[in-house]
A and B are shown apart, each in its own frame.
Chain A
């Protein structure tokens, strides 16, 4: 999926050079290229517009969010003091960490099996993974609610962890599989030929090879969980809900500055995690395109 042989990479580099040279040559008369660039710039502005508004207004000193009264961090102080925000943010972090852990374990094992022990079982399994990924979240949400009531699972924390782990496991599975499929199996075979037991070959060769993918899967799972609204809305219990559920219910009552402030904080946390993931992938030698493909679940 995201593999490239050295030859293809070299071709890609040559192509990129040729591409930029061609662009320079044509620049003066290339109408379509100019209009595409303008269009892309407009789309990027469109994508950032609402985000910038929230960040901007979160620093409003005034009590009414939309009436600008100068720069101030009052809303951040209010948000931090809000016990419900404290409580739900803590739940969010715990649920995020636990569901990421499940996703890492299940996703790594299944990813290894898909890449290295494929067979007749692969097709139905991939179909199941695909269904997990495409089922509309509202359907997932109500199915968990019904099921958890049915099997009498009362713990809100467990409900949230399980609810978040299914989707994340599917994503992590695909990431680990893509990574391992792109690596030559002869590495493990060489280890076996040199006298390593399967266990040793797994520990010393396979595990280090898939580590970046596992880490990326885990970090992505964490951010999925941190951002999830729909499943969480259905499975959380009165005492245990997550930050997005709190924000969502607070939004129904109108826009308040503390919501903008805590959202901005959450934005910084998510982007930090995302940046770390990209860094891990880049360090392990993936190209920018591969990093993108991984980060977007492709």
Chain B
């Protein structure tokens, strides 16, 4: 970071407006089209679906927790929320497992000459239409497609691919779609690490694995956290990928919410489901954060380096 030198005589002239003046349009825009719309979901989640005779899309004259009871209590809904949590957790961890070696390789092993090309190769799919990428998998995985035929011809399979329209296809699709969102923050974090730190660790006698686990991983932790959040949160709200790849079996929580709004026209229940979804996301992040802190404490105790009697800090 560059150092900003405060020049005493460099004050602005003219009448001073409050510092946030230039941000006022943004404040107003976010308030009007982000905060208020979100607040109204909360209100709607306590309402009820009005009878067919009224033109209104919501009844708000008696508020209750009924929608929450339905969203959590109904067997189909509850199992869909459970499946969503499973797909999102497995998907996020798979993204980390697949993405970390790529980001590490790019940050530590690719020279300055090849790096821009490799980065572009990884970015281009990310900027390709989401729909195109997702329905492309229908072509790759189709039972009548040529990968399926090749697999049968060389004796790998004795029947055509049958993965489409299952939860497995949704799992594959979300890992595919969110992988770049994991790789980029990991790469940025690993790229910022000074290689001198790794070299110092080696000079001090640590092996490769130990250097990786005790130097690289802890220092890259912010990038890992950013990647996990960037993947997990939107993945929980997925609605397009299950629709395209999962068919009737691939329903996720996002699909439930959408169907309440677009098909069943039960906006109250849909709003409550959205709130449950948000609660589920926050609770999972909270549990994961606690687990990570606990793990860190244990690891720190186990790995504490005893520097002997140096007389404490100077």
Contacts and interface: CB of A to CB of B under 8 A. Distances in A.
Contacts of A16: 111-112
Interface stretch (A71-79, A81-89, A127-135, A210-218): A127-135
B13 A251 contact: no
Given A3-B1, A146-B41, A292-B119, A19 B195 contact: yes
A49 B172 CA distance: 13
B34 A47 contact: no
A109 B184 contact: no
Contacts of A198: 12-14
A37 B105 CA distance: 7
B257 interface: yes
B97 to A, nearest CB: 11
Contacts of B91: none
Contacts of A119: 19-20
A212 B22 CA distance: 20
Given A47-B180, A146-B40, A36 B136 contact: no
A5 B1 contact: yes
A271 B124 contact: yes
A293 interface: yes
Given A40-B105, A119-B20, A182-B2, A50 B133 contact: yes
Contacts of A233: 258, 262
B131 A263 contact: yes
Interface centre among A49, A252, A293 (most CB of B within 10 A): A49
Contacts of A192: 10, 12-13
Contacts of B37: 140, 143-144, 146-147
Interface string B12-48: 1110000111110111011001111110110010000
B109 A142 contact: no
A146 B43 CA distance: 11
A103 B306 CA distance: 54
B135 A267 contact: no
A134 to B, nearest CB: 5
A139 interface: yes
Nearest to B138: A255
Size bin of chain A's contact surface = 35 or more
Contacts of B105: 33, 36-37, 39-40
A51 B129 CA distance: 9
Interface string B261-282: 1100001001100100110010
A295 to B, nearest CB: 6
Contact of B144 (A66, A105, A112, A118): A66
A274 B127 CA distance: 8
Contact of A134 (B109, B137, B229, B240): B229
Contacts of A284: none
Interface stretch (B67-75, B150-158, B231-239, B289-297): B231-239
Contacts of B109: 19, 23, 33, 36-37
B127 A271 contact: yes
Given A143-B40, A146-B40, A132 B30 contact: yes
Nearest to A36: B105
A43 B7 contact: no
A233 B122 CA distance: 28
Nearest to B12: A198
A230 B32 CA distance: 20
A289 B191 contact: yes
A205 interface: no
A157 interface: no
A144 B36 CA distance: 10
Contact of B239 (A33, A37, A230): A230
Contact of B29 (A23, A136, A169, A274): A169
Contacts of B38: 135, 139, 143
Contact of B22 (A53, A109, A129, A131): A109
A29 interface: no
A78 to B, nearest CB: 17
Nearest to B148: A66
Contact of A166 (B4, B30, B116): B30
B142 A251 contact: no
Given A105-B25, A263-B131, A5 B126 contact: no
A80 interface: no
A63 interface: no
Contact of A270 (B127, B236, B240): B127
A16 B195 CA distance: 10
Which 4 A-B pairs have CB atoms at the shortest separation, nearest pair first?
A50-B136, A136-B237, A143-B37, A16-B112
Interface of A: 3, 5, 13, 15-20, 23, 32-33, 36-37, 39-40, 43-44, 46-54, 57, 65-68, 102, 105-107, 109-110, 112-114, 117-119, 121, 125, 128-129, 131-132, 134-147, 149-150, 162-163, 165-166, 169, 173, 182, 184-186, 189, 192-193, 197-198, 223, 227, 229-230, 233-234, 244, 247-248, 251-252, 255, 259, 263-264, 266-267, 270-271, 274, 278, 288-289, 292-293, 295-296, 298
8 contacts: A37-B105, A43-B98, A51-B125, A135-B34, A141-B258, A147-B36, A263-B131, A266-B129
